[in-house]
Amino acid sequence: MRYLLLSCLLLVSTCPIFALDDDTIIGKWIDQKGEAKIEIYKQGNQFFGKLYWLKDPFDKNGNVRKDLNNPETSLRDRDLKGIEILKNFTYNRDHEWTGGKIYDPRSGKTYDCKISISEEGELNVRGFIGFSIIGKTEIMIRLN
């Protein structure tokens, strides 16, 4: 019986989902298409993510890509590289980061969002309106 209990404890402690803590998402990530890289960081008790690399940083005219679709006209002239696209996430005990927003520079829209990490260590970023059932998940892979 003692060996069974010890084996179960060892299994649980080595399982990736149980090894998560609130800082697990901190770091650099790339989307599956290889088009963008983000860096997730923590300020106080909240998590944020900045776009720090683009596969195509220039538009068809050779100019640095701007945030042209932003609903705030004063922000349309800012470079896409460096903008904060993930804001105000907090970690909960269900191994998720919730309560945040994601900004989509392609559409200029901001969505409710939650983030989780799969058993394989991939970052699941789910943007949605109202209910997370109706939304889209972007999968990102950690960079070293």
Distance CA 98, CA 27 (A): 18
Q: Are 65 and 20 in contact (CB under 8 A)?
A: no
Q: What residues form DSSP beta bridges with 2?
A: none
What's the rounded Cα separation, in Å, for the pair 15 and 29?
Answer: 22
User: What's the CA gap between 22 and 94, in Å, rounded?
Assistant: 11
Determine the Cα angle at 96 with ends 95 and 97, to 5°: 135
User: In angstroms, what is the C-alpha Rg of the chain?
Assistant: 18
pLDDT at 2: 46
Q: 45 — phi, psi (to 5°)?
A: -105, 10
CB 97 within 8 A of CB 89: yes
Domains and CATH numbers, the chain: 20-142 (2.40.128.520)
* Cβ-Cβ contacts under 8 Å for 96 (sequence gap 6 or more): 114, 115, 116
User: What's the whole-model pTM score?
Assistant: 0.83
**pLDDT of the chain, 144 residues: tens digit per residue:** 443 333 333 333 344 444 567 899 999 999 999 999 999 999 999 999 999 999 999 999 999 999 999 999 999 999 999 999 999 999 998 899 999 999 999 999 999 999 999 999 999 999 999 878 889 999 999 998
Res 9: pLDDT:
35
